[in-house]
Amino acid sequence: MIINNLKKILSDEVKLLTFRAIKLDFAMFNWYLAFGIFFTWLCGIGRYWDNPKAELWQYLGLGSVAYIFILAFILWVVIAPLKPNNWSYKNVLLFISLTSPPAILYAIPVEQFMSLKSAQSANVWFLAIVAIWRVALLLKYLKDVAGLSGFCVLVATLLPLTLIVSGLTALNLEHVVFKIMAGLEEHEKSANDNAYFVLILITTFSVVASPVLLSMYGWFVYEKRVKNI
């Protein structure tokens, strides 16, 4: 039974990550969620295992696990006023956890077999691939499962993410983002530095785009309320 369940989960996971339609067996909900959390934990460990700036809770992968619960809650709360279909916290949490496997790219120790410059470029590409992949999966989920459409899907996807990016950068969880803005000394440089520069650019976009997205979000929420009156 365990082997059959794992085969079913792996098959559905591959379909999900390749943007194919799937029909989850919700009798196996806890199995799916356990699989998603396990991969999130594994990717969290892989992301920080060779990062000298990380703290113990990051080395243990606990930050990544906590993050998906927080991200799912933010998405659930922010998008709920748009009246999506099949919208519950546990469903959103399950989806977010199952989009974790691409982040295993972060675990590749490119700095061990590349020059510093090449490793920095590789990490930027990994960051871009994982980010675009997961955002595209969220867009598809909001369109196909939640039933949102048009610009509403775009706003529902980007608004929570821009708010989260701005918040994480303000907390400076990577311990180096603000230092980069001031200028790194030679001995402080690492393979992740270019990725941090990308984070700064994304944060700048988030700060600029947030007011526009909030305005559009308010309009869509108003439209939904009017239709339900």
Predicted pLDDT of residue 157: 93
Of the candidate ranges 26-30, 55-59, 73-77, the one whose mean pLDDT is the lowest: 55-59
Question: Can you tell me the mean pLDDT for 80-104?
Answer: 93
Instruction: Report which listed range, 12-26, 76-90, 105-119, is most confident.
Output: 76-90
Torsion of CA 202, 206, 208, 213, to 10 degrees: 140
Question: Can you tell me the mean pLDDT for 118-132?
Answer: 76
Query: How many structural domains are present in the chain?
Result: 1
Instruction: Report which listed range, 172-176, 180-184, 201-205, is most confident.
Output: 201-205
Predicted pLDDT of residue 21: 84
Compare 105 and 89 and report the one with higher pLDDT.
89
Distance CA 29, CA 89 (A): 13
Q: What is the mean pLDDT of the chain?
A: 80
Of the candidate ranges 27-31, 55-59, 108-112, 221-225, the one whose mean pLDDT is the lowest: 108-112
> What is the band of 185 on the pLDDT scale with cuts at 50, 70, 90?
very low
Q: Is the pLDDT reported for residue 191 higher than 60?
A: no
> How many angstroms from the chain centroid is the CA of residue 41?
14
Q: Which tens digit of pLDDT belongs to each residue from 41-74? A: 988 887 777 666 767 777 788 888 998 999 999 9
Predicted pLDDT of residue 125: 75
Q: Which tens digit of pLDDT belongs to each residue from 192-226? A: 555 556 666 777 777 778 888 989 999 999 888 87
Distances (CA, A) of 76 to 67, 79, 135: 14, 6, 16
Predicted pLDDT of residue 137: 95
Predicted pLDDT of residue 150: 86
Give the domain range for residue 141: 2-228
Residue given tokens 């619960």 in the structure block: 69
> What is the band of 183 on the pLDDT scale with cuts at 50, 70, 90?
very low
Predicted pLDDT of residue 127: 77
Interacting residues of 72 by C-beta distance below 8 A, sequence separation 6+ = 89, 92, 93, 95, 96
Predicted pLDDT of residue 161: 85
